[in-house]
Amino acid sequence: MVTQYKNLVNGELVAGDKWIDVVNPATEQVIGQVPDCGQAELDKAVAAARAAFPKWKKTSIEERRACFAAMATAIKDNSDELMRLLTSEQGKPHAQAAGEIAGCVGMTRALPTLSLEETISEDSAKRLSRTRRVPVGVVGGIVPWNFPVLMAVQKIVPALLSGCVIVLKPSPFTPLATLRMAELIAGVFPPGVLNIITGGDALGPMLTSHPDIDKITFTGSTATGKRVMESASKDLKRITLELGGNDAAIVLPDADVKKVAEKLFWASFANAGQVCIAAKRIYIHQDIYDELSQAIADYAKMIKVGDGAEQGTAVGPIQNKQQYKRVLELIQDAKDKGYKFLLGGDSDPSGSGYFVPLTIIDNPPEDARIVAEEQFGPVMPLMKFEKIDEVISRANASDYGLGGSIWTSNPEAAVEIAEQLETGTVWINESMHLAPNAPFAGHKQSGFGAELGEEGLLEFTYPQVITIAREAA
Ligand code: NAD
């Protein structure tokens, strides 16, 4: 019998009337079940959150910080168990799963050091005017399957720190480690402040249209983000959307080929390419194109793709069947168009597990699907460029605007290029680094609003201006 994981509602662990199977993507075996909630269960969770809000919003920042300290300790003390569970449901290798859990502990400790101070806009003989930040209310959080626990933590902590309460919905593909975390921290917050409920495809739209939810914080694909925005617009819910990306990596001719090959590999293939800020289009200057593309392919040949629970595995499977089929379809399209493969291109869908061999495609055209679309899999298109202006406009010719990177031995000079990229983050000589005190915000169709940093925290609040005339009435 598989383990059944419970939801957290109003401080209690709640079983389901119906259950959803959760599958290990490396074996395709069912490894757990979670409640399949509908409107009635959602209503209960929202009502519990609503009831908890008036008291929670009046707690001091010190009281909230004490809760986060306890939450971080609970996660840290159970890191090993959470890491194994995360690998089994998401597919990522143990070391990367351990990194995600450590990131949860780090974010739970670091984000609460942020605070929103009152500001004075006028202090004159006539009046005193101050602006304070008040929590928006009940937040609905929606999380994807690529970094399921970290994305949950990055919503829970700032929401509760701001004085809001939350009803969080994990992806039905990866709810297990999040629900186990919920069990571990069930007693940390007062009942109703943190609620985590699971369900199938119908639950997300119920959350975004729920009349008693005041704000939605969503991480997922751009297509779903648009649906969330439309649904939330009915009653003008506040929204924060962290969406897809098609990040360009630009390698300048002065880059050190040996060093960059390995870093670029991981910028693209970490988490089997299922990272919103993975390098998804690699532009290499023509002077070093042949040497660098060969060096990346040589490095990739040493990497073991397999079950993340096996020792030595560095790249795991695709997380779910739907995405697996999509990645295979993009590879097939590249084959049909006759693009040259430096590596991969063949996969055997008959075995168990959603494994895609590491695939590197040699200089496909700009309008190839593998270049123009977010692959979200272990497929790397390498493209040649000649001039800086040309590569900047190619990098910017996308509806996405999440991140980008530049690789060079002259980082100071690369800043000028970075400033011309139309993305929320640009890394020079590294990738994927996000900090708790810096905003992470997609430009264009990669997002709406920001997460992390003070700006991320502000998104859970309304400004309120209180003005006192100096002259008594
Ligand atoms: P997805 O959009 O399919 O699903 C995300 C979440 O939304 C899931 O919990 C899902 O159940 C829920 N959902 C589905 N339909 C819904 C609807 N109509 N209304 C409300 N909720 C709904 O995304 P995914 O496939 O889980 O994740 C992959 C995508 O997420 C990629 O595009 C990736 O780039 C993006 N992503 C972005 C970030 C970021 O911070 N910008 C981080 C991670 C992933």
Q: How far is the CA of 286 from the centre of ligand 1 (A)?
A: 36
What radius of gyration, in Å, describes the C-alpha atoms of the chain?
Answer: 23
Q: Is 150 in the pocket of ligand 1 (CB under 6 A)?
A: no
The token pair that represents 129 in the structure block: 């005017």
Nearest CA to ligand 1 atom 11: 171
> What's the pLDDT score for residue 345?
87
How many residues can be counted in the chain? 473
CB of 281 closer than 8 Å to CB of 395: yes
> What's the pLDDT score for residue 471?
86
Contacts 24+ apart (CB under 8 A), 72-78: 72/105, 72/108, 72/109, 74/181, 74/184, 74/185, 74/188, 75/101, 75/104, 75/105, 75/108, 75/181, 75/184, 75/185, 76/105, 78/180, 78/184
d(CA 388, CA 98): 39
> What's the pLDDT score for residue 447?
98
CB of 362 closer than 8 Å to CB of 404: no
Tell the burial category of 157 from Cβ atoms under 10 Å away from its Cβ (0-12, 13-18, 19+).
Answer: buried
Given the residues 41, 89, 100, 242, the one annotated as active site = 242
Q: Is 245 in the pocket of ligand 1 (CB under 6 A)?
A: yes
Q: How far is the CA of 325 from the centre of ligand 1 (A)?
A: 17
Whose tokens are 């890394």? That residue is 427
Q: How far is the CA of 220 from the centre of ligand 1 (A)?
A: 2
CB of 186 closer than 8 Å to CB of 13: yes
Given the residues 276, 374, 451, 459, the one annotated as active site = 276
| 242 given a catalytic annotation | yes
d(CA 142, CA 148): 10
> What's the pLDDT score for residue 164?
98
Q: Give the dihedral of Cα atoms 336, 361, 370, 397; nearest 10 deg.
A: -130
Q: How far is the CA of 144 from the centre of ligand 1 (A)?
A: 5
> What's the pLDDT score for residue 1?
80
| Nearest Cα to Cα of residue 390 among 353, 430, 420 | 420
d(CA 333, CA 342): 16
Nearest CA to ligand 1 atom 42: 276
Q: Is 152 in the pocket of ligand 1 (CB under 6 A)?
A: no
CB atoms within 10 A of CB 367: 8
Q: Is 87 in the pocket of ligand 1 (CB under 6 A)?
A: no
CB of 43 closer than 8 Å to CB of 178: no
Q: How far is the CA of 240 from the centre of ligand 1 (A)?
A: 13
- For the CA of 171, the closest atom of ligand 1 is 9
> What's the pLDDT score for residue 350?
72
Q: Which of 150, 217, 276, 425 to mutate to test the pocket of ligand 1 (most atoms within 8 A of CB)?
A: 276
- For the CA of 276, the closest atom of ligand 1 is 34
Q: Give the dihedral of Cα atoms 163, 169, 171, 173; nearest 10 deg.
A: 130
Task: Provide the residue-wise pLDDT of the chain in tens; the chain has 473 residues.
Answer: 899 999 999 999 999 999 999 999 999 999 999 999 999 999 999 999 999 999 999 999 999 999 999 999 999 999 999 999 999 999 999 999 999 999 999 999 999 999 999 999 999 999 999 999 999 999 999 999 999 999 999 999 999 999 999 999 999 999 999 999 999 999 999 999 999 999 999 999 999 999 999 999 999 999 999 999 999 999 999 999 999 999 999 999 999 999 999 999 999 999 999 999 999 999 999 999 999 999 999 999 999 999 999 999 999 999 999 999 999 999 999 999 999 999 998 877 678 999 999 999 999 999 999 999 999 999 999 999 999 999 999 999 999 999 999 999 999 999 999 999 999 999 999 999 999 999 999 999 999 999 999 999 999 999 999 999 998 77
- For the CA of 231, the closest atom of ligand 1 is 19
| 104 given a catalytic annotation | no
The token pair that represents 285 in the structure block: 């200057």
Q: How far is the CA of 27 from the centre of ligand 1 (A)?
A: 23
Q: Is 200 in the pocket of ligand 1 (CB under 6 A)?
A: no
d(CA 157, CA 151): 10
CB of 268 closer than 8 Å to CB of 303: no
d(CA 209, CA 205): 6
The token pair that represents 20 in the structure block: 């959803």
Provide the greatest CA pair distance for the chain: 81
Q: Which of 107, 169, 171, 224 to mutate to test the pocket of ligand 1 (most atoms within 8 A of CB)?
A: 224
